[in-house]
Chains A and B, each alone.
Chain A
Amino acid sequence: MLIELENVTKVYNQGRSNEVQALTEVSLAIAPQTMVCLKGPSGSGKSTLLSIIGCIFAPTSGRATIAGKPLARLPDRFLTVHRRATIGFIFQRFNILPALSVAENIVLPLLPLGVSPKARRERAGALMDQLAIRHREHFPAGQISGGELQRVAIARALINDPPIILADEPTAHLDSRLSREFMQIMADLKAAGKTIVITSHDPLVTEHAAIDRVIGVKDGRIDVP
């Protein structure tokens, strides 16, 4: 399995008056080259689950093994290197820097790796061609449309060629046409060998043909129907 969670529990603000039990004893396994959707209502814990898979948070207890390593529990210097190589994130609000150009946003993850400017341009160019945003290459990211912004976010997630793509509510701010386009891009990435985990309760995502499995999340637990 590429992603394995065993008895993962996550508690925020542990021991304080505002303690929140976000996940309770969650176990799941995701095989390589599959597309999985984490489905559940707002506050069910699916974003926390995605953050643990993405090693943004360490679990409070339990084990999260990503690509054979308990990534979130590695010392920081190793975690950063492995996460950068293994996981690409597409955030709900895209988290694009509006003052930078489209191309500059896309190559951001390459900067700490010391990749040469020429190689950065080539890799970004190939992704912009693939995602049909080449014509916006030098536009400030703050001046492009929502659909284009999302493609920039996808290109940025793919620039390191990670085997795992995580997308948190990616269609929440898109109309149905852009949502379908997004899912088509994800289907193409899956066909190209990527493992994709998406959180959503949008039927356009959960019922898409490319989705191999829908995992229900409710009250911080896997919801077995």
Chain B
Amino acid sequence: MFLNAWSLALTLTSIAAIVLGAIACRTAIRVLRHWDPASDSERQIRLEGEIWLSSTLVAYGLGFQIVSVVLFVLAADEFCKVIVGAMCATGALLANSYGMPALLVKLAGVFFYGFWIVLHQLDIRSESYPLVRTKYFYLLAIYPLMVADFSLQTLYIAGLKPDIITSCCAVVFAAATGGGPNLLTIGSEGLQLILYYTTMALLAGLGGMLLWRRSPWLQTFYAAGWVWFFGLALVVITMVISSYIYAMPYHHCPFCILKPEYHFIGFGIYGALILGAFLGISAAAVEPCRKGAGLEQVVATYQQRAVQLSLGLLLLFALLTSYHYILYMAAGGEV
């Protein structure tokens, strides 16, 4: 199903990112072999010029890839209109065995690609390119992920056939007792909500402590907390929160909340969650960069702002995900 606007946009975006990445990988190999900031040689000076262009291209390429997650979900939501049995992106993504893996790789990519952009932004804030080797080594490490991302997406689009019969979200995410092939269950609704709000409160507490007193250990706990919370939140949104948003007890779906009939609330929820988790995790991940020449203060400032922003996003996420639940409880039923 390549010949439609969504597939073409996704494919062209990914090809652009892959090509830009490949060009930069060539530079990366040269950087790893020859980079020597103390040298005045022609090769070193040429490399210094080259990394500017290549880093800018990579930053844009990875930026495209990050945006392509949204594009991918919107595309899947569009594909469901022509796939038998699919009512939303869930059905479209399950229409073949590449849909969900492609989405998961893309989601992981947001974090890995985003971290390269953070490294690049830190690097260009020092006069002496202290992170050049690190960021180009890291680029070589994440390039296979970009290729996997592109390959899974292409296989998914190529394997989509309008006559495939798939399941709708109501079946896929139905409660285990309902007989459907449930994908996500980690306990009762009450247990899930207790875990969810307790983790949120712990994260807020850890973040507050970090703002008050910086410590690498606290930073690591905060990042680990976000990793746990990210996974937990996805499950709780799907299994509990979403049905309050839909005001339908048996409708559990992580994608329908992106639809206009629910005021696109899903974009706010996922945006806050993904960005908050990224900032919370990256604040700890950049800790080793403090050792780079001229980066101590730059990294400290980034960490401080990342924690502040992640706390703000956690609050926004809490408000967005709790609004319908609280309203339902306060009103004593459907509103």
Contact = CB atoms under 8 A, between A and B. Distances in A.
A74 interface: yes
Interface stretch (B44-52, B66-74, B91-99): B44-52
Interface string A73-101: 11111100000000000000000000000
B45 A58 contact: yes
A74 B41 CA distance: 15
B124 A75 contact: yes
B334 interface: no
B163 interface: no
B42 A60 contact: yes
Contact of B45 (A6, A73, A75): A73
Nearest to A9: B42
B40 A62 contact: yes
A143 interface: no
Nearest to B41: A61
A76 B45 contact: no
**Contact count band on B:** 10 to 19
Given A7-B40, A69-B127, A75-B52, 18 more contacts: A6-B40, A58-B48, A59-B40, A60-B45, A60-B46, A61-B41, A61-B42, A61-B45, A62-B40, A63-B40, A73-B45, A73-B48, A74-B127, A75-B124, A75-B126, A75-B129, A77-B124, A78-B127
B40 A61 contact: yes
Contacts of B45: 58-61, 73
**Contact count band on A:** 10 to 19
Contacts of B126: 75
Contacts of B129: 75
A77 B49 CA distance: 14
A75 B49 CA distance: 9
A61 B36 CA distance: 13
Nearest to B124: A75
Nearest to A78: B127
9 contacts: A58-B48, A60-B45, A61-B40, A61-B45, A62-B40, A63-B40, A73-B48, A74-B127, A77-B124
Interface of B: 40-42, 45-46, 48-49, 52, 124, 126-127, 129
Nearest to A71: B127
B49 to A, nearest CB: 7
A9 B40 CA distance: 10
Contacts of A73: 45, 48
B40 A76 contact: no
A75 B51 CA distance: 10
Contacts of B124: 75, 77
A79 to B, nearest CB: 9
A62 B124 CA distance: 23
B102 to A, nearest CB: 37
A150 B41 CA distance: 39
Give 10 nearest A-B pairs by CB, closest first: A61-B42, A63-B40, A78-B127, A62-B40, A74-B127, A60-B42, A75-B124, A61-B41, A73-B48, A61-B40
Nearest to A63: B40
Contacts of A69: 127
Contacts of B127: 69, 74-75, 78
A137 B127 CA distance: 39
A131 to B, nearest CB: 35
A8 to B, nearest CB: 9
